[in-house]
Amino acid sequence: QKEVEQNSGPLSVPEGAIASLNCTYSDRGSQSFFWYRQYSGKSPELIMSIYSNGDQEDGRFTAQLNKASQYVSLLIRDSQPSDSATYLCAVNRYGNKLVFGAGTILRVKS
């Protein structure tokens, strides 16, 4: 079992729709959770962090965490073509060691 699992996609949504990206993790001791966005040919950049159960909102982005189910999700409201990218889920198991999922490709069609 991989430490962090994501559906590779691609996930295709029409412009203006809500995109829902999901991630599961294997280590129940994981403490903090992140979503990074990576455009093709570029480096990853942090877009959301979440540390406790529930929702964390920032603009059009909402991260959701359910530690009992070991599940993290990212919702993107009013999706735009510029949101088309690979979204990487990352989990901090201990110390400062981030483990990344393989990423989900999102395509927003105009």
Partner 1 sequence: DAGVIQSPRHEVTEMGQEVTLRCKPISGHDYLFWYRQTMMRGLELLIYFNNNVPIDDSGMPEDRFSAKMPNASFSTLKIQPSEPRDSAVYFCASSLFTLRHKEKLFFGSGTQLSVL
Q: Footprint of partner 1 on this chain (CB under 8 A)?
A: 32, 34, 36, 42-46, 49, 88, 90, 92, 95-103
Separation between Cα atoms, residue 102 and residue 44, nearest integer Å: 12
Provide, rounded to whole angstroms, the least separation between the CB of residue 76 and partner 1.
20
Provide, rounded to whole angstroms, the least separation between the CB of residue 109 and partner 1.
23
Cβ-based neighbours of 66, under 8 Å, separated by 6 or more: 53, 72
Separation between Cα atoms, residue 109 and residue 11, nearest integer Å: 11
Q: Could you give the 3-state DSSP secondary structure of residue 34?
A: strand
Amino acid identity, position 6: Q
Q: Which is nearer to partner 1, 12 or 31 (CB)?
A: 31
Q: Which is nearer to partner 1, 72 or 79 (CB)?
A: 72
Q: Which is nearer to partner 1, 50 or 79 (CB)?
A: 50
